[in-house]
Amino acid sequence: MAVPIAFKDGCSKTAPALLETIVAVEVEMPEDKIGTVIGNLSARPGMIQSMDDIPGGVGKCIRTEVPLAEMFDYSNHATPTDARTRYLYDAVQALR
């Protein structure tokens, strides 16, 4: 009985917030797959940071930041585009 009362009291005196992990994503793909990859990344809540040429002229590298929860099924969407599409991600920060 005391726990729910203490929880409500604590929440009313503070500003609790749920944090979401944001990951930095890099996707390397051949130039003919850019539209497919950008469309897939744009469908997720996130922001494309940059698009650069891969040294050697073999394709493009797109850098974006996306909530981690939106990336769990990304490999299922990235792999069918082309076997040469490669992606990696790393935790950046936790946001509200």
pLDDT tens for each residue of 12-56 = 888 888 888 888 888 888 888 888 888 888 888 878 889 998 888
Question: Does residue 74 lie within any of the structural domains?
Answer: yes
**What does pTM read for this prediction?**
0.67
β-bridge partners, 51? 62
Question: Does residue 3 lie within any of the structural domains?
Answer: no
Supply the CATH number for residue 21's domain.
3.30.70.240
β-bridge partners, 6? none
- Structural element, H or E, at residue 95: strand 86-95
Largest CA distance in the chain: 67
Residue 70 has pLDDT above 70, yes or no: yes
Residue 87 has pLDDT above 70, yes or no: no
Question: Does residue 62 lie within any of the structural domains?
Answer: yes
Token pair of 94 as six digits? 């936790």
Residue 96 has pLDDT above 70, yes or no: no
Domain limits for position 35? 17-95
Give me the chain's average pLDDT, please.
Answer: 79
Q: Which of 63, 65, 75 is nearest to 44 (CA)?
A: 65
Domain count, the chain: 1
Question: Does residue 10 lie within any of the structural domains?
Answer: no
Q: Considering the chain, what percentage of its residues have pLDDT values greater than 70?
A: 79
Q: Which of 3-7, 14-18, 60-64, 75-79 has the lowest mean pLDDT?
A: 75-79
